[in-house]
């Protein structure tokens, strides 16, 4: 594979893959927060 193809692939798939993964994680964290909401009584534990 030539350097040009490699570089473009890394930029597109690397940046896209990173942001996609982080977006999926942000969605899952949003769901987690809804599934396990914070309760006042947790304070002090």
Partner 1 sequence: MLEAIGNGLYGLIAGFTGLHWSNPVMIGLGCLLLYLAIKKDIEPLLLLPIGFGCILVNIPLAGLMEEEGFLRTIYDAGIATELFPLFIFIGIGAMTDFGPLLENPRIFLLGAAGQFGIFLTLALALALGFSKLDAVAIGVIGACDGPTAIYVSSKYAPHLLSAVSVAAYSYMSLVPIIQPPIMKFLTTEEERKISMGAVKKTVSKTTKILFPLIVTVVGGLIAPQGLPLLGTIMLGNLMRESGVVSRLTKASENEIANIVTLLLGISIGATMDGKNFLTPQTLMVLGLGFIAICLDTVCGVMFGKLLKVLSGGKINPLIGAAGISAYPMAARVAQREGQKYNPKNFLLMHAMGANTGGQVGSVMAAAVMLSVLKGMGII
Taking the C-alpha atoms of residue 18 and residue 20, their distance in angstroms, rounded to an integer, is 5
Q: Is 3 in the site for partner 1 (CB under 8 A)?
A: yes
Work out how close the CB of 29 gets to partner 1 at its nearest, in angstroms, rounded to a whole number.
Answer: 4
Q: Is 42 in the site for partner 1 (CB under 8 A)?
A: yes
Q: Is 44 in the site for partner 1 (CB under 8 A)?
A: no
Query: What's CA 3's distance to the chain center, in Å?
Result: 28
Taking the C-alpha atoms of residue 10 and residue 3, their distance in angstroms, rounded to an integer, is 10
Q: Is 38 in the site for partner 1 (CB under 8 A)?
A: yes
Q: Is 10 in the site for partner 1 (CB under 8 A)?
A: yes
């Amino acid at each position: 594979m030539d350097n040009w193809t490699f570089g473009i692939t890394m930029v597109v798939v690397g940046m896209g893959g990173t942001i996609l993964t982080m977006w999926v994680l942000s969605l899952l964290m949003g769901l987690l927060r809804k599934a396990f909401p914070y309760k006042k009584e947790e304070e002090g534990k």
